Structure 1
């Protein structure tokens, strides 16, 4: 029960609903045990005793208690379900909140399909046990307890003989739980892998079809699907082994009851009505014990799901800043790296090594280098997506750790190379970083990013609902929306991570012209592969294996005839070739 104890904070606030459900369950169980008593009276008094006039009264009484039981059953199920639904509402909200504040290193290894499975299937399995599993456990205890009280009242010897098999049944149930729980844990993990495979396939469908890998994907899914099937069959095998055994033990109790109970009836130590009632009461005990396998089934699934949910809840969140962070203010944008190093988790080499440079307020910094040279790592540190391994990173002369993360990022506008747009309106996407932005501000930013014209041509203009990840827009259109989104934030520091890579040369020139205007007074970092994107920068840093190998202005670096000059010559030759072909 350790898993349920640790998750208690999510369901204890709604314990009143569980208590009402429990009270109603007591009525339901008590009335259920009364049925055999009515049967005993009808046989011994009405039929055998010849008092036939009592039977209509018994029938009316039975109808009355059945009505009460129906009402109590409704109350039990309604409040039980309410208990589960409200509890997992709180749990799901906390899980989602947790995911928002987990550090990037967590998502380096996490899989989308697995997280989706935890927030849906695992949460639902936990809810089902809260709503029905707890009630079934309590019903088991109450039903067995009430039935045994009535049975002892009728015949102590017969009760003891009948219950002789119960220890064996309890052992079988215990062993069943020991085998079924690890199996369900494996099933849950296999289901998460299955969901991950489906999610990756759907997200990468364009790549799958472009490379004609439909058959390969089908086979890969088949392997994952086979694993899920195998895990479920293993669980079915455990169930198929233990359930007949539990049923067999229960039937032995019935045989003992008929044999010894028949003997007591012949000896006039038990009436026919009492024997009939006793037989019903025995199944009120054996039935729930056999059904305990189903309850354990639910419990094991719920416990396995709860363990997977706790794995998320136990993850260490990143701290937004020290207890006494600096008061929020508009940053000036002065950035200094002093011998800064960064090594990602589980990596053997540093991504950045002893990096030192200064970016004065309002300056424009260009970052150039091959893939993996460390350009994006500088941005990761500026945004505090990751924490530096060594050195000192200052903003406006103060350590970056002194700033609250949220307030820091409100001062930084970023346009990533891989543009992500939400499945909402263009207006909402543009105002995502500044929900208070007016329509005039949104349109002005769109015009600066050269996005207003194509937005106006869409069916609903700025109210057009985008498909998943901006489906329906070209890569260049999505990037222009991302640029406008960053502009609306009015940041002190602007980061452009190859932000014009998906636009044509003509559009790039128009965007750069507009952006030079908004860069005024802002510290801007431009990561680019095109020299044309960085040649106007105040400083250009050429990175190689996490170190700055060249630095200077465009003209200075051309004179050095190093890596920068080689990149420039190659791109210039390519451009001349394209112009000649045109």
Structure 2
């Protein structure tokens, strides 16, 4: 029985690959990117809940549970295949029993046949997800073109140039066929026949052929370099454009090193196509014609030896290819992880310097790169073994050919020249087979690279039909109405459930609440950064779902706590986001936020080039610049999510006073944990576990009893309240210090 198998592009994608395998088992070939969006796989993989929600969204009836000890006695009653938790670290597909063993499909290894004891050993917690397709599953559309089709579309404009390249390749192959006949002629007629006059003619002819072949090679390489330089540029631009169109959630669940790895994948794809285009046509033509000549004009017996040699070479290679592909996939995944680690080290220099984490990080670097070096060595060893095995088989074939051929020459069945000509043709034929063997190793690497490239290209853009939606001017004084809004991140429980709230327009408002209560999520949804699953969000008369996402983001601007600036001048950073902004508008915005005070002290003023991530400015200075950058956009609604947290209270109060005065009559929403900030606004809403508990003007809320007062009065309940206060003095005893809970409480 043939079992469906889908390999995982990354280690974290094992659960996604499992759903893809089961979908393929039932006749649907779903792209991994589509499943990933529904499952919500992040940097640490996915949960059982995420797999269940994703499977249900794809049209499966999904039921999760925990297997009991007698599961193997009841296996015939289960709807298989199913997904099971393997080794506490990944997901695999359980296909059931075949003869005396059980079959699983491990996305990182392949199809495995194991005993019941082995499965019980690895299936420790018994977690299991049963999937049964319903009618909605069979109505799914799976008509996305493959990446091979996409590459062919990129090549299509250069089809006439490629035809020229192939034609040159055939001519080069034809000229290569002249060599064995020249050798036969020189051996039989010149050396053995003693025809000295023919030698000069043959030498001149051979020289002419080699000059023509060299010129054709030069023209062919020039054409190929031109074509594939454009192809690589096209793929790179396609990838770069796609990155800009991906939803925010995609960036939040990926490692930064993965994106750099995809650009290397493009270079690998292009390099293989260049080599294949230059060498493959000529080698194939030479091998095909050589095989025909060997069979019909020389010796069928010698040809059989060459064919057997070629068959053994191909058979040995095909046996090793699955192992090579699995190792390549793991190696590329390790490279991405290590690259991401180095990016994190660079960005987190301050953290590891101030937390004495250098020894631990050094151990991790040694371990990771040592593991990578070991995997590289394994791959090189396997590739070398494959090549040496092919050379060994080829060498045995050559020896067998000469042995049998020499016997035929002695028996006068062949002339010496014919034997030499046959040997050259046999070499050309086996050279083609050897090229295919070595090319197949690289082909496996490129196949994996294409799959990884597809992982990005096949992801649905966040607003594919955005251009069809209307543009509208969002009123800066219109009320913001959340009506029965539901939202959850893929693979998680609902963060907002039937959430309703009205934020008054044209005023300053604050969303307050404990960390993790949903305030930032509400801000991102309002700014059009996360799509919500149900409900409506109205700003004045406009339903945000009906408007273009670009239109919404241009008029509802969110400034987050973490700022980002590009490595270019301050003015260029502003004009990158607001191309029409004038120098005077940038200066005016910076005066409102107080950024002009430190910019004027910089040697180059607004032309000062910021370091990567703005590393040559303090956190407070960057936040002032970020708010000023948002003001240049002149948004109808401005949202500040902890955007002044790096400022001292006095500077923060001054900045917000100037900001709110500048934006009088325009909706401004603040998210802050500082009570001083929450008291200066016109209206406050208290968010608790994704719900709006209470809302109103600050004075009204201060007159109400409740937990919201801690966000307005600045007196949060202290865990030590009611116990003795700790005093820093020499008289402090053990009785004055409260005990630490948990394992430290001896």
Q: TM-score, normalised by structure 2?
A: 0.73
For residues 136 and 128 of structure 1, what CA distance do their matches in structure 2 show?
12
Q: Secondary structure at the match of 2:483?
A: strand
Q: Given that residues 28 and 69 in structure 1 are in contact (C-alpha distance below 8 angstroms), is that contact kept between their aligned partners in structure 2? A: yes
Greater shift, 4-13 or 482-491, is seen at 4-13
Instruction: From the superposition, tell whether residues 30 and 448 of structure 1 become closer, same or farther in structure 2 (CA, over 3 Å).
Output: same
Q: How is 1:38-49 mapped onto 2 (pairs within 5 angstroms)?
A: 38-49=182-193
Are 1:342 and 2:480 matched, yes or no?
no
Instruction: From the superposition, tell whether residues 443 and 39 of structure 1 become closer, same or farther in structure 2 (CA, over 3 Å).
Output: same
- CA deviation after TM superposition for structure 1 residue 237, in Å: 4.1
Which of 191, 198, 223 is equivalent to 2:342? 198
Which of 548, 551, 558 is equivalent to 1:404? 548
1:423-472 CA distance string (max 9 Å, x none) = 11100112232111111111111111211232122222211111111110
Are 1:357 and 2:501 matched, yes or no?
yes
Q: How is 1:241-320 mapped onto 2 (pairs within 5 angstroms)?
A: 241-319=385-463
Q: How is 1:359-398 mapped onto 2 (pairs within 5 angstroms)?
A: 359-398=503-542
Which of 400, 413, 425 is equivalent to 2:569? 425
- CA deviation after TM superposition for structure 1 residue 526, in Å: 0.6
The equivalent residue for 1:138 is: 281
- CA deviation after TM superposition for structure 1 residue 15, in Å: 3.0
- Paired residues, number: 572
Which of 189, 199, 202 is equivalent to 2:333? 189
The equivalent residue for 1:168 is: 312
Which of 559, 582, 589 is equivalent to 1:438? 582
The equivalent residue for 1:122 is: 265
For residues 282 and 464 of structure 2, what CA distance do their matches in structure 1 show?
47
Greater shift, 49-58 or 237-246, is seen at 237-246
**Comparing both structures, which one devotes a greater share of its residues to helix?**
1
The equivalent residue for 2:592 is: 448
Q: RMSD of the TM alignment (CA)?
A: 2.4
Q: Secondary structure at the match of 2:425?
A: helix
Q: Secondary structure at the match of 1:367?
A: strand
Q: Given that residues 3 and 303 in structure 1 are in contact (C-alpha distance below 8 angstroms), is that contact kept between their aligned partners in structure 2? A: no
For residues 251 and 431 of structure 1, what CA distance do their matches in structure 2 show?
66
Instruction: From the superposition, tell whether residues 160 and 292 of structure 1 become closer, same or farther in structure 2 (CA, over 3 Å).
Output: same
For residues 10 and 181 of structure 1, what CA distance do their matches in structure 2 show?
26
1:477-518 CA distance string (max 9 Å, x none) = 111111111011111111111221112233223312320222
- CA deviation after TM superposition for structure 1 residue 10, in Å: 2.7
Q: Secondary structure at the match of 2:686?
A: strand
The equivalent residue for 2:742 is: none
1:85-118 CA distance string (max 9 Å, x none) = 2222222222222222222222232111112211
For residues 22 and 398 of structure 1, what CA distance do their matches in structure 2 show?
59
* Moved beyond 4 Å, runs of 4+: 320-324, 571-574
Structure 1 unpaired stretches of 5+: 575-582
Instruction: From the superposition, tell whether residues 320 and 314 of structure 1 become closer, same or farther in structure 2 (CA, over 3 Å).
Output: closer
The equivalent residue for 1:87 is: 231
Q: How is 1:500-539 mapped onto 2 (pairs within 5 angstroms)?
A: 500-539=644-683
Structure 2 unpaired stretches of 5+: 1-144, 719-746
Which of 124, 142, 147 is equivalent to 2:290? 147
Which of 547, 552, 565 is equivalent to 2:691? 547
Instruction: From the superposition, tell whether residues 320 and 456 of structure 1 become closer, same or farther in structure 2 (CA, over 3 Å).
Output: farther
Q: TM-score, normalised by structure 1?
A: 0.92
Instruction: From the superposition, tell whether residues 322 and 191 of structure 1 become closer, same or farther in structure 2 (CA, over 3 Å).
Output: closer
For residues 323 and 446 of structure 1, what CA distance do their matches in structure 2 show?
33
Which of 174, 179, 189 is equivalent to 1:30? 174
Q: Secondary structure at the match of 2:579?
A: coil
Q: Given that residues 136 and 295 in structure 1 are in contact (C-alpha distance below 8 angstroms), is that contact kept between their aligned partners in structure 2? A: no
For residues 652 and 306 of structure 2, what CA distance do their matches in structure 1 show?
87
The equivalent residue for 2:642 is: 498
1:528-566 CA distance string (max 9 Å, x none) = 112222322121112221122232222222222433433
For residues 282 and 330 of structure 2, what CA distance do their matches in structure 1 show?
29
